[in-house]
Structure 1
Amino acid sequence: MKKLAKLSPGRIFNFAGEKFVVMEQRDGAAFVLLAQSKESCPFNDKDDAENRNDYTRSTLKERIDKWVEALPRTSEEAAAILPFEVDLSCTDRSKSYGTITVKAAPLTLWQYGQFKELIPLNEDDWYWLVTPWACRWLRSPYTNYTNLVWLVYSNGYYSYYYASNSFGIRPALLLNSDLLVSLDDEVEDDCCGECDCCGGKGLPSLDGISTATLLEEIQRRAMRAGSVFMGEDGTDE
């Protein structure tokens, strides 16, 4: 196990039975993303044509809210999931939909741009971002583009699509950085060799052995290794 605060951006780890990738280390917390998307769903398939790309009223938000509530398996895992604010500005940064505070949400378009070098390509599906293509504004009744939402293709390219279509769910979380998480390659480069993460299989200490004794042992082993490949007359066997 390793403290989340010690993981570098781009590192994949296990939490609550899922794999996540570290996006950013913040003050006392780590911003992380699901390493691969989960099942697909529409961004919004509700009968609300004027605001179908409003995340606060979306099918996607309902699915993610249920997912994050069911995610933790222990009280410690539940306590480690911290609320964070999501900017729901549309492409031109107008703020018709404001902000929302949640425990899980897709990345914004700008977060994807910031972290895309760290994000593993999504293998099986395109996945939704939270950012709407356009929002309604008071001086225009034209609302066609309020059906469009940004998404990311499997190859990492991003574009926009109609909210009624189904694409992958890939939420981000904010986790307490004191959380202990597991890694698939359990032994870290800086591991002491004696802790739980490497099974306590540390090397014996050489502190009490003199340098001369160590050199003699190295020479003895080198000579013994050489005899395996050379005959007694010094020729190759």
Structure 2
Amino acid sequence: MTPLILRPQPAADELADLLRQQGHSPVVCPLLSYLPGSELGALTERLSQADMVIAISVAAVQYASEQLVQQQTRWPQHCIYLAVGATTAAQWQQQGVKVISPTDARSEGLLALPELQAATGKNILILRGNGGRELLADVLNALGAQVSYLECYRRHYLHTDGAPLLQEWQAAGVDSVIISSSKLFRQLIRLLPETASDWLSSQHWFVPSQRTADEIHQAGFNSVTIMSGVQHDAVVAALQNNSEDITHE
């Protein structure tokens, strides 16, 4: 397969290397990059007040960890740490932090954990980028927790003429797109010209959740595979399974 990888660096190149080892011919074009968040300076103080800390993404842990290094301090031991998925948990574990994460790498998976079911009266700090789903905070507030956010990073989307990109992808024979979020899908649609409709319809879409799959279906694109997550091994497995299905047809 010739999948289009739109995720930020360095993850895009890391994934591309793994896919090449499996015989694929990925095309890398990050539509998204990250910048330091506006609230990182308050991280140490906010951590000192927290009972639980939840990280929504790998980038949140990376930027927060870099901030702590700059301040010559560490993640406090009194907190309970929870990560939305295995990849985010692994990033924290590299810092020597003991982390709890659900098998269902979504807000719904986190909310099912017993630690959060017993969150009444707890001060919970959510580390994330600028904006995002409010479900987690809404449910935890309803359970009687005190929830606050800390913006660890900001998303910066590529703004350029999408027509030349479309020509490049068509010339490269791109036959599939790996999308890590609904926001990234919407950015792709905004970027490309209206003439891209047929090309978009011909692609096989690899997505991390039913929610993103539903949005792609609503846009009129029917060939969608829901991966087991956004981790590199989950993406590799999804493409490999799809390639085998095509071979056996």
What's the TM-score bracket when you normalise by the shorter of the two chains? under 0.3
Higher normalized contact order (CA 8 Å, seq sep 6+, divided by chain length): 1
Q: TM-score, normalised by structure 1?
A: 0.24
Q: TM-score, normalised by structure 2?
A: 0.23
Greater share of residues in strand: 1
Greater share of residues in helix: 2
